[in-house]
Amino acid sequence: MAPTLAVSFNDSSEINDFVLKKGNGVKGLSETGLDSLPEQYIQPLEERMCDTKTMSQESVPLIDISKWDDPEVAEAICEAAEKWGFFQIINHGVPIEVLENVKEATHLFFGLSAEEKRKYLKEFSPSKNVRFGTSFSPEAEKALEWKDYLSLFYVSEDEASALWPSVCRDQVLEYMKRSEIVVRKLLDVLMKNLNSIEHRVTANGSNNRISVPIFINPGPSEKISPFPEVLASGEKAVYKEVLYSDYVKHFFQKAHDGKATIDFAKI
């Protein structure tokens, strides 16, 4: 149990300063012994999760991918992607010790002092590819998110070794390298079948929750557009070709609003 800090707040601006500017994050805020959730973290009614639509981990398809070349595996992946948009995989080849090490590294980073984590805030980080923060887009959101995050964009081994937080370097790099192989194989199978699903997770009132997602992105100067294979039969394109850096800039300037971000590329 983390010690309760002797901190009091007079208004929301003091909370924002403590959380967003001083590097304490919501982890630090929760450790002050709050009696109730601050108003700016209470989601509007229209954005709250509907309990009747909540999926449990047990209900999401579980797929053994140890035999990549088996047509039944590809069929199961495509079916899960089309019907669910999510699936779990086992026998993926990433050793359990690698997974445990990256979880440990995550705990170590968020267990650092506020002064140490503050070094990686947007205005202080030694690289634009290393970012500690809380909430998705604080300036644009109706309500702040009850989370802290560390974003590590991999550009090169040299930059990661020099500029990533020391508690994350080796473990997270190893995890990314091994996971990328799995992700790329899955993308080969899913090229035209992945159903984009709006999703979120609920906070646990008594335990910390960790997510370590891996994203494989194009370079900033790359262009993104519908797959030619999708249009081969004469179907009319719904989305135009856009520069990836333009799309990302748009994505991070606005609040979360389901799938509306993709409208940026609509014809």
Instruction: Give DSSP secondary structure letters for 145-202.
Output: -S-EEEEE----HHHHHHHS-TTTHHHHHHHHHHHHHHHHHHHHHHTTT--------P
Strand partners, 176: none
Q: Domain ranges in the chain?
A: 217-267
Q: pTM value? A: 0.84
Question: According to the model, what pLDDT value does residue 193 have?
Answer: 60
Burial 52-83 (b: 16+ CB within 10 A, else e): eeeeeeeeeeebebeeeeeeebbebbbebbee
For the chain, which ranges sit under pLDDT 70? 1-7, 49-58, 191-195, 258
Question: According to the model, what pLDDT value does residue 51 have?
Answer: 61
* Residue count (the chain): 267
Tell me the C-alpha to C-alpha distance, in Å, between residue 53 and each of 43, 86, 180, 201.
17, 14, 31, 12
